[in-house]
Structure 1
């Protein structure tokens, strides 16, 4: 494996669904050290690993010091990876080994390039730079400050915004995928994977999926919100994980109206702050800043040719 070896005393093995909590704790420790906050939830890992198209044992690896996980990596086709090392174990070559493991697996699956998102300027960013990874795009996590609100923009006549009904779920998925695949480099997500990641994600409630309907009742805009709860009620956050408007319906303020509805609904259920993320491929950063959201962390997606 690129002639890279783990330090003496460490072991590695494929992971199982029962390792999801340990993976969450590994990623959370890294995020807390790198950006001062934790942006991931254990439910994110459980949902991702539950996708029918994902083989946990074949696409993940954990590095252990005794029984304690000190690093992990996973690869998702066609070219996405995630790597994390607990801060206390940095400087031992674990990240270098995990990156080599990812490249080997990606290469064996036919990938010609593989990348990972890391906080800009973090130890992970510096390591990938040293390994020859280049920046593909930049992304930002944005928050609407507590107490702030987005100016309402009335919907066009005949349009409504509300919780999606069960029969509207396939259409909502189609709107999301059509929009994201305009700029995203990946295969089309199956409805089964959408179900696992969104509808069956631990903690999901029907109101988390919001839609805008046109006068004919067609789904033309969609938002998926996740609620992040901590030990402090003051930190409860509503996070829009997906937001999209059908191409032929853009420019009518549907996304802004949907954000207002989503955040208001979430605040009525205990959210104090509201957030989302976007990247340089979408060109949407200015829109979110215009409605009062502010970037709290910057990430770069670095990749390398295989």
Structure 2
């Protein structure tokens, strides 16, 4: 079993692997970090639970939860393949926990056979950015959180001729998986299994079929918007947008997004948000729909040598 003790853990802290029973405590830690950076929490509790239960993740090896002397969560690390997450509670920052967790993440990734590691950091988090850059990480892509206000009911254009639109319903899962993974294959580093994809989308408690419109050409699914109703957040959130390649540039994505916006407006949501990044080339589409950038993050990556 790999040694879970990170090098350089400051005195007074102890660590152990996380379990699914820790999801609420980890969410509280992440929410505290987001509140300090952005003024409010943004990550849903069910996202943490879903990530701890992803197929192939071995929490006893791939997670690390750091506690302070009172037993409260002070830091958290998560590694899966070439991706890592590191969070340090604002009350415990500046003490070396971030560096210790980052070193642990790199060591764990090497043990698991990964030759690279990447982490996403908000551009407003200057301390984390400096830590990564000092550790040899360089920027890979930019991510943007986009928003649109919904003061009135959005107009929804008619779909193109031959295309029908309806909300997501039970039985659409496999077709939606195939469509979205085919679309994301153009830029994502690896294709997700159905089990992993479902845990991140349609099996989440926050998944909202009523605001997840699908587009069909005959009986073939050719477009999808998958949305979440995140507890504790009064805004709508679009998790996935995909249109089959041979049906792009026909206004299908615009129609589906407008349909999702209208659904969120009818649910009383004052705004809707979604993430996109520079690898997709989709930013101009969202800007034409009236969405604007609320904030940005950068994905930093590093080639891993041997310990």
The answer to whether 1:258 aligns with 2:256 is yes
The answer to whether 1:127 aligns with 2:125 is no
Report the CA distance between 1:206 and its aligned residue. Answer: 3.3
The equivalences for 1:192-271 within 5 A come to: 192-214=195-217, 216-230=218-232, 236-271=234-269
Partner SS, residue 119 of structure 2:
strand
The answer to whether 1:171 aligns with 2:175 is yes
TM-score by length of 2: 0.92
C-alpha distance in structure 2 between counterparts of 1:290 and 1:175, whole Å: 24
Match of 1:80 in 2: 83
The answer to whether 1:11 aligns with 2:14 is yes
Partner SS, residue 102 of structure 1:
helix
Change (3 A) 1:219 1:59: same
Match of 1:159 in 2: 163
Contact 1:54–1:76 (Cα < 8 Å) also in 2: yes
Report the CA distance between 1:149 and its aligned residue. Answer: 6.4
Match of 1:301 in 2: 299
Contact 1:227–1:271 (Cα < 8 Å) also in 2: no
Q: Deviations over 1:125-169 (max 9, x none)?
A: 121112121001010001102416665332111211112233332
Change (3 A) 1:208 1:146: closer
Contact 1:238–1:266 (Cα < 8 Å) also in 2: yes
Structure 1 unmatched ranges of 5 or more: none
Match of 1:21 in 2: 24
Match of 1:139 in 2: 143
Contact 1:60–1:74 (Cα < 8 Å) also in 2: yes
Change (3 A) 1:183 1:260: same
C-alpha distance in structure 1 between counterparts of 2:132 and 2:97, whole Å: 13
Change (3 A) 1:36 1:160: same
Report the CA distance between 1:229 and its aligned residue. Answer: 3.8
Root mean square deviation, CA, Å: 1.9
Q: Which of these residues, 52, 55, 62, is aligned with residue 52 of structure 1? A: 55
Change (3 A) 1:101 1:148: farther
Relative to structure 2, which stretch is displaced further, 48-57 or 58-67?
48-57
C-alpha distance in structure 1 between counterparts of 2:215 and 2:56, whole Å: 29
Partner SS, residue 167 of structure 1:
coil
Contact 2:223–2:252 (Cα < 8 Å) also in 1: yes
C-alpha distance in structure 2 between counterparts of 1:180 and 1:205, whole Å: 21
C-alpha distance in structure 2 between counterparts of 1:73 and 1:4, whole Å: 14
Contact 2:67–2:75 (Cα < 8 Å) also in 1: yes
Report the CA distance between 1:199 and its aligned residue. Answer: 2.2
TM-score by length of 1: 0.92
Partner SS, residue 240 of structure 1:
strand
C-alpha distance in structure 2 between counterparts of 1:55 and 1:148, whole Å: 46
Q: Deviations over 1:158-209 (max 9, x none)?
A: 21111223333211111100111101112x1111222222222123343254
Q: Which of these residues, 268, 271, 279, is aligned with residue 281 of structure 1? A: 279
Report the CA distance between 1:4 and its aligned residue. Answer: 3.1
C-alpha distance in structure 1 between counterparts of 2:226 and 2:287, whole Å: 20
C-alpha distance in structure 2 between counterparts of 1:156 and 1:208, whole Å: 20
Contact 2:150–2:261 (Cα < 8 Å) also in 1: no
Contact 2:29–2:89 (Cα < 8 Å) also in 1: yes
